[in-house]
Structure 1
């Protein structure tokens, strides 16, 4: 049992309390609990997160990449934590890092703190009136409407007599969503699969085959069918790694196996206007999107890939496993028939 478990488990139940007034037994418990505060004033949750990430990654360089900070900065923060603890936590070698005896003891005591902190915040926070949702770039309006109905039971154009929607959607890159979910800044994320993020549950809300998107005056736009030879001379307007981690690598690999080793032109595809402008001015530039994502845009032409096994775009609503949001998402997936991936 961790130190935090012992503190939380010792909270007495005072049946004589009413309203916000603390009984004598609870006041005594508060005095005992706060007496330990002086021993943690030099600690920062950031240092615990850094420590746990190094443990999981096995190397400081791998942890730094995951945390998106420089390796020297992470090493400095770990040394600062070790100075505060008063003992070395890691044995460093050319192969990576291993926990010292003290490091293993430290890990046993603090590994449950992030989850307990999330539980404490959830217990203190009333059920939200709005759910913040992070949305990656290029998500079709149809998907947002389906998520709206699935999570709230409300149509996208619902006004509720002037009341705002329970969902508050905003643009958040897929690479940043995991951290915001962990910090409780968003309740759900909408991303393209696969996404290399541990600790998430996923409900697939969109699964469509990809096809070739061309600007209306592109030389290939007049053809009803395209060949791999046609596509071999074209550059592919594609997502950068930060915009669609996992998906950005997976689809080009599938295309290579099918016969098109595309020259990639990475670009920010968050805004439809910039996406269309890039195709308009790119000359030999084409893109890949599901047909429904561009249908109805008179500036764009969609053509199927020359295969029956075209790569697919799968969009999913994600939530942090073990949270209230995850349980809510599981129930919504059951109601809507969304494939649910734990």
Structure 2
């Protein structure tokens, strides 16, 4: 099967009309009709239903169209990569990380798979607090970014979910809760609670504080960790206890223990985000790949998560 047959076929399918397709392809209509007939003879089934005012794909034609679009896109991508190599060019993609996402095994696994799928792209990592990271996305100073929701500014960017990240309680290894399977929020009133600064994630910070207040806890005198993921280190040092997303508890020292919280109302969500108006080809390619990989990762348990 000649590739030009596929290009002709896809164009006719998208125009739903032989004359308009011929004009778009820059060829006469009779030769185009003859090429489509040859293609139908080659595959052995009708691909189009001829109508009074155009054509429509048959069920078999729809199957071929779906695959033909992918084949032609892969071919165009391969040709583009060859040309880039010949010119000594490589694409760059600025990949942002909210500070609390850089230690997530699921995030790191997705980044590895993106790099494997796009060896022609130089990924440039950037780590920023969530408000600053969203602003860099809006300004397109970052192309893609891993955010942690809730985040007030996230409504200004598009995103696709990566995974849900429930909060867990981290306590010193000698703490009375250390040997328990779970606790309730109301049981936490006797220990200092370590929080992260509001300016690194206002939406998440406020949601956590609201959850604690709803359980009758007043975290106004809480210790502050420099970052969300450094709260566990402060627990190990004896500053108090901390509520952190589960993905931040996978590689902790023996000096702390992780306990479930039965009535924790807050669940964080890690997403891959981008500016809606960013139409750069390299960005769209990586979004497509990321979505495919997210579906695969959802069915493959990640070690430590």
TM interval, shorter chain, is 0.5 to 0.7
Counterpart residue number, 1:191? 147
Taking the aligned partners of 1:210 and 1:153, their CA distance within structure 2 comes to 31
**Aligned 8 A contact 1:232 1:262 in 2:** no
Taking the aligned partners of 1:234 and 1:127, their CA distance within structure 2 comes to 57
- 2:274 aligned with 1:323, yes or no? no
Q: How many residues of Structure 1 are paired with residues of Structure 2 in the alignment?
A: 202
**Aligned 8 A contact 1:243 1:268 in 2:** no
Tell me which of 111, 117, 125 is aligned to 1:169: 125
> Residues 313 and 233 (structure 1 numbering): CA distance in 2 closer, same or farther, change over 3 Å?
same
> Residues 310 and 150 (structure 1 numbering): CA distance in 2 closer, same or farther, change over 3 Å?
farther
Counterpart residue number, 1:138? 100
> Residues 143 and 127 (structure 1 numbering): CA distance in 2 closer, same or farther, change over 3 Å?
farther
**Aligned 8 A contact 1:146 1:205 in 2:** no
**Larger relative contact order (C-alpha < 8 A, sep ≥ 6)?**
2
Tell me which of 170, 193, 202 is aligned to 2:159: 202
User: Which deviates more from structure 2 when the two are superposed, residues 227-236 or residues 192-201?
Assistant: 227-236
Taking the aligned partners of 1:335 and 1:299, their CA distance within structure 2 comes to 38
- 2:145 aligned with 1:182, yes or no? no
Q: Give the secondary-structure state (helix, strand or coil) at the position aligned to 1:185.
A: coil
TM-score normalised over the length of structure 1: 0.51
Tell me which of 222, 225, 237 is aligned to 1:267: 225
Tell me which of 237, 247, 252 is aligned to 2:194: 237
1:149 Cα deviation from its structure 2 partner: 4.6
> Residues 329 and 251 (structure 1 numbering): CA distance in 2 closer, same or farther, change over 3 Å?
farther
**Aligned 8 A contact 2:138 2:157 in 1:** no
**Aligned 8 A contact 2:110 2:294 in 1:** no
Name stretches of at least 5 consecutive residues in structure 1 with no aligned partner.
Answer: 1-125
Q: Give the secondary-structure state (helix, strand or coil) at the position aligned to 2:146.
A: strand
The superposition leaves residues 17-74 of structure 1 with CA deviations (integer Å, 9 ceiling, x where unpaired) of xxxxxxxxxxxxxxxxxxxxxxxxxxxxxxxxxxxxxxxxxxxxxxxxxxxxxxxxxx
The superposition leaves residues 162-191 of structure 1 with CA deviations (integer Å, 9 ceiling, x where unpaired) of x9x732223211121133223432212222
Q: Which has the larger radius of gyration?
A: 2
Counterpart residue number, 1:212? 169
Q: Give the secondary-structure state (helix, strand or coil) at the position aligned to 1:138.
A: helix
1:200 Cα deviation from its structure 2 partner: 0.4
Taking the aligned partners of 2:285 and 2:215, their CA distance within structure 1 comes to 39
